[in-house]
Amino acid sequence: MTGLTESIESLEQLTVAWRAMVLDRDVDADVRDLPGIAVRWADSRFSFWNCVTLTDQGAGAALLTQRLSQAADIMRAKEHPGFLWLFEDLLDDEARTALPTAAEQAGLQYAFPGRGMAGDLLPIPEPVHPDLTFVRVRTDEHLRAYADLQSRAYGFPVEDGRAGLVGSAHWKSEMYAYLGMRGDVPVACAATVEAQGRLFVAFVATDPRWQRRGYGEAVTRKALYEGARATGLTRATLHATAAGAPVYPRIGFTPNTPIHFYNVKGL
């Protein structure tokens, strides 16, 4: 695939996977595909369920400036804060140069970097780790443990993380979501879900007290293994944070488009 093709794939994986997950949280969520902008916004306390992304391909500086202003206006109208996801390889060279200034003018501030990744890597061998057993998420107790791992890993308030997951039917049935257990203690988690003929990896986290032991990689392999076994899919995608980015190439993922996350100043 070319850089643009892979960035389009990465964008589409977000819009497809997030549609289902956002509507699971709120059947009246703001899920719209506008000219140049996709909205996937549950207005949840869990800010990752509040998402806007730009969808124009090959956007120039003028169009980028317009879209960022429109996206910021959408975000300001919401009760809870969220993120604008921007896939860099969808922009032309002029727009990439203009991005910091255009974001500033729209009232957006840079939150953190990410990276799209993909690979024709499935199936993979069933994973084992000497410290871990794996439990599939099937109950609200499991979801609470999964949410609390997210909160500890990414710095969310515990109640915000739980608001994002506890009570979800989608996560118990449609997601191949797993906890990595050290004895009876959940120490890592990862999930996969079918999205447009790919297996999409979502919400990998390791308790900061148990990092650098291979737990995140092991539970990600488990979610991939079980998702591929159930679906027969051979291609997988994900959006990596900077912390997770070194892990995924070891599994077989290849990095593609940089992703820039923004939020609205003052929110």
With a cut of 80, say whether residue 267 has pLDDT above it. no
pLDDT of residue 2: 62
In whole angstroms, what is the distance from residue 96 CA to residue 213 CA?
Answer: 37
Over residues 95-140, the pLDDT tens digits come to 999 999 999 999 999 999 999 999 999 999 999 999 999 999 999 9
Query: Which two structure tokens, joined as six digits, stand for 5?
Result: 């093709």
| pTM (two decimals) | 0.94
Q: Give the full edge-to-edge strand order of the sheet including 198-206.
A: 30-34, 37-41, 50-54, 83-87, 254-264, 108-119, 236-241, 198-206, 185-195, 176-182, 133-136
- Mean pLDDT over 54-75 rounds to 98
Per-position DSSP letters for 45-82, written without gaps between them = SSGGGEEEEE--SSB-HHHHHHHHHHHHHHHHTSSS--
Domain boundaries, the chain: 3-116+258-264, 133-234
pLDDT of residue 4: 84
Return mean pLDDT, the chain.
96
Radius of gyration of the chain (CA): 18
CB-based burial of residue 81 (10 Å sphere; 0-12 exposed, 13-18 middle, 19+ buried)? Answer: middle
Under the banding of pLDDT at 50, 70 and 90, the label for residue 266 is: confident
pLDDT of residue 3: 76
Per-position DSSP letters for 75-114, written without gaps between them = HHTSSS--EEEEEGGGB-HHHHHHHHHHHHHTTEEEEEEE
pLDDT of residue 48: 94
CB-CB contact of 225 with 127 (8 Å): yes
In whole angstroms, what is the distance from residue 238 CA to residue 199 CA?
Answer: 9
With a cut of 60, say whether residue 1 has pLDDT above it. no
pLDDT of residue 132: 98
> Which residues, listed in sequence order, are joined to residue 191 by a DSSP beta bridge?
177, 202
In whole angstroms, what is the distance from residue 209 CA to residue 58 CA?
Answer: 43
1.10.620.20, 3.30.70.1380, 3.40.630.30, 3.30.1540.20: which CATH number matches 133-234? 3.40.630.30
> Which residues, listed in sequence order, are joined to residue 112 by a DSSP beta bridge?
261
- Whole-angstrom CA distances from 261 to 86, 122, 146 are 6, 29, 23
Backbone angles phi, psi at 106, to 5 degrees: -80, -5
